[in-house]
Structure 1
Amino acid sequence: MNKSLPLKKKEGFQGQKAVVIPRPVLAQKCVKNDIISTLYITDIGYYPKALYHYRERPHGADQHILIYCYKGAGDVIVKTKEYRIEAGDFIIIPIKVAHKYEADVNDPWTIYWVHFKGSISHSILSLFEKQTGGHKGFIRNNERIFSLFNEMYNQLERGYGTDNLIYTNMCLWHFLTSFIYNIQSDPAGQLNDKNTTDMAIDYLSKNISKTLTLEEIASHVNLSPSYFSSLFKNKTGFSPIEYYNHLKIQKACQFLLFTTLRIKEIANEVGIDDPYYFSRLFRKIMGISPNLYREKKIH
Structure 2
Amino acid sequence: MKANEQSFWQTYLSGMKLHVAIAHYTKVPPSWNEDDYVPDVNKLYWIEEGEGYLKVGDHKVLPKPGELCLLPADVRQSYGTTSDNTFGKYWCHFTAKVGSFNLFELLKTPITVRIQDSERVRESFKRLVHYHNSTEWTAAIHVQSAMLDLIAAFVEHADPITVQAPASGTMDKMNVVLAYIDEHLSESLTVDQLAQLVHFHPNYFIRLFKNTTGLSPIQYVNHKRMDKAKQLLAFTNKSVSAIAETLTMDAPYFSRLFKEYTALSPTDFRELALAGSEATVPNPS
TM range (shorter): 0.3 to 0.5
| Structure number with higher helix proportion | 2
Q: Which has the higher contact order (CA 8 A, sep 6+)?
A: 2
Larger Rg belongs to: 1
TM-score if structure 2 supplies the norm length?
Answer: 0.48
